[in-house]
Chains A and B, each alone.
Chain A
Amino acid sequence: MKDKKKAEKIIFKTEKEVPLMPMSLGSMLYNKTGAWRNIRPVIDLGNCIQCGICWKYCPDVAIYIENEFPVVDLEYCKGCGICAEECPTKCIAMVEEEK
């Protein structure tokens, strides 16, 4: 599911390489939006009740389900905090990013 598409940047070296029809050739996955983030979600899996609400409400599709538990993809998470706000057991904490 996760590595279905390639996340690479497309560079046209000469103008002849540009297609005549302007069509999308690649996926926006090359754009690692994790760099926008100030705070990062940390899931306490001990209290997780596996409801899937964090996965359902993530606007960046950055939470995926692995072995029946949610995992945050920190390459793409923008740190909006919706998952922490909506979690029914409040087991997601937003932690300040260290840089």
Chain B
Amino acid sequence: MKKEKTMKLSLPTDELMSSGHLACQGCAATLAMRYVLKALGQKTALCIPACCWSVIDGPFPYSSLDVPIFHCAFETAASSASGLKAGLEMVGDTETTVVAWAGDGGTFDIGIQALSGAAERNDDIIYICYDNEAYMNTGIQRSSATPLGAWTTTTPVKHFKNRPKKDIDAIMAAHRIPYQATANTSYPEDLYKKAKKAKDIKGTRFLHIYAPCPTGWKSRPEDSIKLGRMVVQNCIFPLYEVEDGEKYTLNIKPREKKPINDYFRLQGRFRHLKDEDLKLIQEEVDRNWERLLKKVEIGGQQP
């Protein structure tokens, strides 16, 4: 055993999330929570609507997090967080960061009016959406975050989803909020940096975190991190920041754009897709990537 080298860790070692939670094997949503809490620290309050995390956290007298959590109704994540922040300000607490932590169903479909309202009022909250691309908690139903061609229990193989994913980042950019970013659990340092940056900004901040779900995507649990890396390398889910709805910054620009086939072939939910379907999806991905590059060119800088 060699002892010369000392260990250098890229993230702080204090954990606010404990073991023993109820997530499936290989769940990346727990990783998202772990990294975000490392960045935000102890002075944080969470509002969690119905989503995977309201189950992962544990049943009534227990909790797997060391920060206060408020379980709220499905559509009210953003408005509960706004109320919590206003209440804290009334009693003179201006330090605590209030976070609304919702899944993709609670952000893209059900919670979007509360989110839009909070963003328009520019309430001082961080809204974090961890995106596993369907209603995984209730049994893999289609949401508007489900990508084109995916199998879910409500879009079976014969009638797979024929509409593309909703572009929530463009919707939030149209609200002209001070800070928003996309992040990925396979790039923890990047995610940590963005959460830290969001903590120091006043106003509504929006983080969109990509979190692979082995149960719903029918992928192997050990592939969760690999899938997250692939999705950035083939430009399906690019990592970028937007400030004031205009200034786009691209964080990771892949040297060569990889074809999407490898990513799709690792997941059972895309097993029924033929090669010509994948070609159509590749064209769609290319179009979105070109559009993003144009936005970066107009109002921002490239790495």
Q: Which residues of A contact B (CB under 8 A)?
A: 1, 5, 7, 10, 12, 22, 24-33, 36, 45-46, 49-50, 52, 55-57, 59-62, 65, 68-69, 73, 75-76, 78-82, 84-86
B7–A76 contact, CB under 8 A? Answer: no
Footprint of A on B, CB under 8 Å? 1, 3, 5-11, 13-15, 17-23, 25-28, 30-31, 34, 57-58, 60-64, 69, 188, 214, 220-226
Residues of A within 8 A of B7 (CB): 50, 52, 65, 68-69
Task: Select from chain B the residue with minimum beta-carbon distance to A60.
Answer: B19
Chain A positions within 8 Å of B14 at CB level: 1
Pick from A36, A61, A75: contact of B15, CB below 8 A: A61
- Mind listing 13 A-B residue pairs with CB under 8 Å? A10-B62, A22-B60, A24-B62, A27-B20, A29-B20, A30-B62, A31-B22, A56-B11, A59-B34, A60-B21, A78-B25, A79-B25, A81-B220
Given contacts A29-B19, A60-B19, A61-B19, contact A52 B10 (CB under 8 A): yes
Q: Judge whether A28 and B64 touch: CB under 8 Å.
A: yes
B26 → A minimal CB distance (Å): 4
> Whole-angstrom distance from the CB of B5 to the nearest CB of chain A?
5
* Complex-state Cα separation, A59 to B225, whole angstroms: 10
| Other-chain contact of A28, B1, B13, B18, B27 (Cβ < 8 Å) | B18
Inter-chain CA distance A17–B44, complex, in Å, is 29
A10 to B7 alpha-carbon distance, docked (Å): 38
A76→B5 CA distance, assembly (Å): 28
Contact flag A85-B222 (CB < 8 Å), given A28-B58, A52-B8: yes
Contact B31 A27, beta carbon cutoff 8 Å: no
Cross-chain contact B26 with A61 (CB below 8 angstroms): no
Contact of A26 among B8, B9, B62 (CB under 8 A): B62
CA distance A42 to B62 in the complex (A): 30
* Closest CB pairs A-B (n = 8): A81-B222, A24-B63, A76-B19, A28-B64, A80-B26, A80-B25, A28-B20, A85-B222
Task: Specify the chain A residue showing the minimal Cβ separation from B35.
Answer: A56
Given known A57-B31, A59-B26, contact A82–B63 (CB-CB < 8 A)? no
A45 to B62, CA, bound (A): 35
Q: Is the CB of B1 within 8 A of A46?
A: yes
| A82 close to B222 (CB less than 8 A) | yes
Enumerate chain A residues within 8 angstroms of B226, measured Cβ to Cβ.
85
Q: Considering the chains assembled together, what is the distance between the CA atoms of A5 and B65 in angstroms?
A: 11
Shortest B266–chain A CB gap in Å is 12
